[in-house]
Structure 1
Amino acid sequence: MSSTSVLATRSEHSRLTRWRRAWINRETAAAWIFLLPSLIGFIAFYAVPAVRAVSISFTDWDLLTDPQNIGLENYTRLFQDEDFWQSLRVTFAYVLFNIPIQTAIALVIAVLMDRFTKSIIVRGIMIVPWLMPNVVVGLLWLWLLDPSLGIVNVFIEWLGFSSVPFLTGTDFALPSIAGINIWRHMGYTALLIFAGLQAIPGSVYEAAAIDGASELRTFWSITIPLLRPVLVFVLVTSIIGSFQIFDTVAITTEGGPVNATEVLNWFIYEHAFVRFNMGYATTISVVLFLILIVVSVVQMRIMRADESDF
């Protein structure tokens, strides 16, 4: 055997030995024991249904009879469906109402908490709306914003103005839905940003103060860049959650008035459980999944999620 073959054999044996040491040891076994319950749950409740959903999207199925394979007909219909494009526009409008305002308010709250108080009580109060179920939040605001008896409109009329059709007017319904969800999530988002602020070394701010940097310049040149990893996480998860808005719409407006709040998830629900067109509803779900992947990748590329400013 030539020396080259011997070296190649030894290299392969060394590689196998390293692989065995990495994957066949106590630490790896312990890791798999802890990961296995979550892995089984992920496969059973996410991976398998996702694969099944893709297969259903190629069928015509009314939930009562056997599905019939129709190929790409659902996808062809989808891209020609004006109602789908309208619901997609409504969803994008909701995201644009929701995310910038929610993130800005959360950032301000987090900075104020970092500067003036780090009380656990304050942080507990901030997260209470997020801990409430979406259904409870929807019912609460449905009563508060009632055009006749809601306390918000009672207060507006007490000030001398006309009542506002928050959830019944086509111009107000979607911003009102966005406002409800901003109220629910801004405290949780603020706590995430607050945690990121705690990780920024104080020496960086001391150096900026010695150099004579103003508060505003310090915020834009130090705080925001060093918060980028947290902001990436906040924005990606918030936007994904906003695209999946359903509970609040279902409780308050049911897609109305005149489809003004018919977001994609409500559109999917209607086709699946009102019109019993599961194949077409699943097709919309698959397209929504692809949209979320594209939006998330674009966000992470634009915000340089794989880089650090530390």
Structure 2
Amino acid sequence: MSTTAPPRPAAAAPPRRRRRDDTRLALLFILPASIGLLVFLVWPLLTGLYYSFTEYAILTPPQWVGLENYRTLLADPVFWTSLRVTVVYVLINIGVQTVAALLIAVLMQRLTQSTWLRSLVLAPYLVSNVVAAIVFLWLLDSQLGIVNLALQGLGVDPISFWANESWVIPTIALVNVWRHMGYTALLLFAGLQSIPEQLYEAARTEGAGELAMFRRITLPLLRPILALVLIMTIIGSFQVFDTVSVTTQGGPADASKVLQMYIYENAFAQYEFGYASALSVALLLILMVITFAQYWLSRAGQSDLD
């Protein structure tokens, strides 16, 4: 007589683990950065915006004057001169820096990807702006600078790089090109890594040369990264100050008085903090217009790889 075993009870399903809520931990981690953002960015921005509508000389309470500072700004010839000088500086600095950085990035990608080479390219960026300005101030001195001594050896008259109105802004721009182009090149180099190598192999199969591949593959696919890098570098170039302060202090004859230098003079030399704040707000508006226009025209948020 056969007996059938009683059915085994079904195994109880393991209890579902409750998903851990890390919201509090995440808020704890971002709290220091949030405090720094509020204290060092948001609060100064709001305070400066308020002061731009006041007459404020730091020793007396600010007095509300409405749009008077902005009316003075629009009629101030030094403001327009400093704006023109800044635009000339930005055009030279960004134009040369972008071309040089793009060339370095492409050469690093096509010829070598050595870590040591990347370190050498980045080395000038690790030098302080003030230190770089002092070194080039000595190198380009009209009497004792090694550059002018070399030019004299070649039979060329000495050039007053820092005292000539025609030379001073190109000189400052190229000094900052030397310091920043390695960092810009590494940003572009990182963007080049996102371009599939198969595209270049297919182009070589079709007989395309390096120049044709650069024009038809590299540039179009690098456009979003290049646009964002240009936005970053243009914003930084409009804020140039330390190189000018160390070398020329705005001279000769205001030929190198960029906007940041003019803001500094009004705030800390003439103690017109209200007017200096209005100049800062004007610079902020200029940068916002340039940034949004460039972002829209270059379609920085779209990629041709999609």
What TM-score, normalized by structure 1, do the two folds share?
0.90
Q: Secondary structure of the equivalent of 2:41?
A: helix
| 8 Å contact from structure 2 (residues 122, 182) kept in 1 | yes
More helix as a share of residues: 1
Which aligned pairs between 1:186-197 and structure 2 lie closer than 5 A? 186-197=181-192
Matched, 1:129 2:124: yes
Cα deviations across residues 216-267 of structure 1 (Å, max 9, x unaligned)? 2211111011111221121001000000000000000100001000000000
Q: Secondary structure of the equivalent of 2:82?
A: helix
Bigger radius of gyration: 2
Q: Once structures 1 and 2 are overlaid, which stretch shifts more, 167-176 or 121-130?
A: 121-130
Match of 2:221 in 1: 226
Q: Which residue among 94, 97, 102 is the counterpart of 1:102?
A: 97
Matched, 1:175 2:164: no
Aligned equivalents of 1:34 and 1:200: distance in 2? 34
- The Cα shift of 1:35 comes to 2.1
Aligned equivalents of 2:36 and 2:141: distance in 1? 41
- Matched letter for residue 288 of structure 1: L
| CA distance 1:31–1:228, change in 2 (3 Å) | farther
Aligned equivalents of 1:145 and 1:32: distance in 2? 51
| CA distance 1:247–1:306, change in 2 (3 Å) | same
Percent identity reads: 50
Aligned equivalents of 2:143 and 2:112: distance in 1? 39
| CA distance 1:229–1:25, change in 2 (3 Å) | farther
- The Cα shift of 1:191 comes to 0.9
Matched, 1:285 2:284: no
Match of 2:31 in 1: 36
Matched, 1:262 2:257: yes
Aligned equivalents of 2:237 and 2:22: distance in 1? 39
| CA distance 1:147–1:36, change in 2 (3 Å) | same
Match of 1:54 in 2: 49
Match of 1:18 in 2: none
- Matched letter for residue 173 of structure 2: A
Instruction: Could you tell me which runs of 5 or more consecutive residues in structure 2 were left unpaired when the two chains were aligned.
Output: 1-18
Q: Secondary structure of the equivalent of 1:259?
A: coil
Instruction: Could you tell me which runs of 5 or more consecutive residues in structure 1 were left unpaired when the two chains were aligned.
Output: 1-23
TM-align CA RMSD? 1.3
Which aligned pairs between 1:135-284 and structure 2 lie closer than 5 A? 135-284=130-279
Aligned equivalents of 1:113 and 1:308: distance in 2? 23
What TM-score, normalized by structure 2, do the two folds share?
0.91
- The Cα shift of 1:26 comes to 2.4
Aligned equivalents of 1:182 and 1:76: distance in 2? 35
Q: Secondary structure of the equivalent of 1:37?
A: helix
- The Cα shift of 1:150 comes to 0.6
- The Cα shift of 1:27 comes to 4.3
- The Cα shift of 1:271 comes to 0.4
Aligned equivalents of 1:25 and 1:277: distance in 2? 55
Aligned equivalents of 1:229 and 1:177: distance in 2? 29
| CA distance 1:27–1:199, change in 2 (3 Å) | farther
Aligned equivalents of 2:181 and 2:201: distance in 1? 29
- Matched letter for residue 62 of structure 1: A
- Matched letter for residue 117 of structure 2: V
- Matched letter for residue 268 of structure 2: F
Aligned equivalents of 1:34 and 1:298: distance in 2? 35
- Matched letter for residue 308 of structure 1: S
Q: Secondary structure of the equivalent of 1:26?
A: coil
Aligned equivalents of 1:87 and 1:148: distance in 2? 28
Aligned equivalents of 1:297 and 1:274: distance in 2? 33
| 8 Å contact from structure 2 (residues 225, 300) kept in 1 | no
- The Cα shift of 1:25 comes to 6.6
Aligned equivalents of 2:26 and 2:216: distance in 1? 40
- Matched letter for residue 195 of structure 1: A
| CA distance 1:265–1:25, change in 2 (3 Å) | farther
Cα deviations across residues 176-207 of structure 1 (Å, max 9, x unaligned)? 00010000001111111111112211111112
- The Cα shift of 1:120 comes to 1.1
Aligned equivalents of 2:164 and 2:107: distance in 1? 35
Aligned equivalents of 2:26 and 2:191: distance in 1? 28
- The Cα shift of 1:280 comes to 0.2
- The Cα shift of 1:32 comes to 2.6
Aligned equivalents of 2:215 and 2:293: distance in 1? 23
- Say how many residue pairs are matched: 287
Match of 1:11 in 2: none
Match of 1:81 in 2: 76
